[in-house]
Amino acid sequence: MKTKEKITTIGKLFDVEYGQKEYHNKEWLEGNEGDNILISSKGDDNGIYGFFNIKNKYVANFITVPSTGTIGHAFLQIENCSVDDNCLVLIPKIKIKIEQLYQVAYQIRLNKWKYRYGRQITPKRIKLQEIKIIDGEINYSDFVNKITPKKKNKLKIKENKNIKLVPVVYEKNKQENGLCIIGKKTALPQNQLEDGKTPYVTTSSKNNGVSGYYDEEPNFNGKCLTVALNGSVGETFFQFDDFITSGDNAVLFFKNSYNPYLLFYIGTMIRNHRWRYNYYRKLSLTKLNKMQIPMPFKNVKDIDLDYIKKIVENSYGFDELKKYL
């Protein structure tokens, strides 16, 4: 494969500025959810803080670099969005291929060890960084099309208007009113375990909550939901395999028959409540016991499981998950 290399600096290729001051404090965004992206100094999910009813300022494609928080953890933004002032925004001065923008973001990450809380990245410092631009034969669009699940024609689903609020968890002495049994167990910290094959589910929002694999017996069976009570509070994942988790997660499972479609639906409804909680206002077992979610019914007392199954099967990417159920 023939490649051409060019060594230059970030300052020659990009205009560099801080993001928008109006998003430094985000409390006013609570309850203002919408379709537009706000980028922050998070080190995961491409830096996405959330989706809000705000105007997009920056036009893709460009690079964001946290100047606080996860300092130097650069991301390429391929959607129009807004960016808070905890990030630097690198706007190309000339047309640069998307494959080369990824190269730049990667090289910025390689240099993040140079920075820390007392020595943050500034526009002046990052403009001086040398980078190598390679004109290779990898095509971003072809690569993405190869690894991305194919979209299918969506089914037409007749709307169910018979919606009722139902408790997520069985109530004491009123077990007919709830949906799930709730569990919570302690576990040894990961740094006390040897590497192995059992997934350890934490409160991370990445990789289905799994942060490592260890040589330890699972303390929960798979085919259930984990709900983060700490960390990424309210983050809910469907666990396919037997796993280990600590008391920072609640585990939800059915008392009798297993229904993966219903679990996926319940998990999505719980995640919709995440905006209510944060590090200082955590989700607890008491709050989870009181949580109610909207459920479709086909008559006075029976949940419309066929309707739920159609909704889940209609979700993008579900065909990739189906083989593991």
3-state SS assignment for residue 190: helix
**For 255-275, how does the pLDDT look when each residue is reduced to its tens digit (9 = 90+)?**
778 999 999 999 999 999 888
* 65/120 Cα distance (integer angstroms): 11
Provide the pLDDT for residue 172.
60
Provide the pLDDT for residue 1.
46
Band (pLDDT 50/70/90 cuts) for residue 215 is very high
Report which of 114, 134, 142 is spatially closest to residue 126, judged by C-alpha positions.
Answer: 114
Opening angle at CA 248, ends 246 and 251, nearest 5: 75
Report which of 76, 122, 65, 83 is spatially closest to residue 99, judged by C-alpha positions.
Answer: 76
- Residue owning tokens 């230059």: 8
Average pLDDT score over residue span 179-184: 92
Class of domain 4-147: alpha beta
- Work out the percent of the chain whose per-residue pLDDT is above 70: 95
**Minimum mean pLDDT among 21-25, 39-43, 100-104, 320-324: which range?**
320-324
Distances (CA, A) of 209 to 197, 226, 227, 243, 268: 15, 8, 10, 11, 15
Q: Where are the domains of the chain?
A: 4-147, 163-322
DSSP strand pairing (33-39 vs 82-83)? parallel
Q: Which burial class, exposed, middle or buried, applies to 279 when counting CB atoms under 10 A from its CB (0-12, 13-18, 19+)?
A: exposed
Q: Are 4-147 and 163-322 in the same CATH fold? A: yes
**For 59-93, how does the pLDDT look when each residue is reduced to its tens digit (9 = 90+)?**
999 999 999 989 999 999 999 999 999 999 999 99
Q: Is 269 left (phi over 0), alpha (psi -120 to 50) or beta?
A: alpha
Q: Pick 163-322's CATH classification: 3.90.220.20, 3.40.50.720, 3.30.1490.20, 3.40.250.10.
A: 3.90.220.20
* 264/223 Cα distance (integer angstroms): 10
| pLDDT higher than 80, residue 234 | yes
**Minimum mean pLDDT among 123-137, 170-184, 210-224: which range?**
170-184
**For 5-39, how does the pLDDT look when each residue is reduced to its tens digit (9 = 90+)?**
788 999 999 999 999 999 999 888 887 889 999 99
Provide the pLDDT for residue 267.
96
Band (pLDDT 50/70/90 cuts) for residue 316 is confident
Provide the pLDDT for residue 33.
85
* 25/27 Cα distance (integer angstroms): 6
* 200/275 Cα distance (integer angstroms): 25
Provide the pLDDT for residue 177.
74
Beta bridge partners of 82: 38
Q: Which burial class, exposed, middle or buried, applies to 12 when counting CB atoms under 10 A from its CB (0-12, 13-18, 19+)?
A: exposed
Provide the pLDDT for residue 293.
94
End-to-end CA distance of the chain: 42
Cα 246 to chain centroid distance, Å, stands at 20
* 74/89 Cα distance (integer angstroms): 10
Can you give the pTM of this predicted structure?
A: 0.67
Beta bridge partners of 116: 119
Q: Which residue has the higher pLDDT, 45 or 3?
A: 45
Average pLDDT score over residue span 164-185: 81
Average pLDDT score over residue span 30-49: 90
- Residue owning tokens 């060594």: 7
Report which of 245, 324, 229, 246 is spatially closest to residue 285, judged by C-alpha positions.
Answer: 229
**For 142-165, how does the pLDDT look when each residue is reduced to its tens digit (9 = 90+)?**
777 776 777 766 667 788 889 999
* Secondary structure letter of residue 297 according to DSSP: B
Q: What is the mean pLDDT of the chain?
A: 89
* 100/320 Cα distance (integer angstroms): 30
* 165/171 Cα distance (integer angstroms): 14
Band (pLDDT 50/70/90 cuts) for residue 198 is very high
Band (pLDDT 50/70/90 cuts) for residue 135 is confident
DSSP H stretches of helix in 159-304: 260-271, 285-290
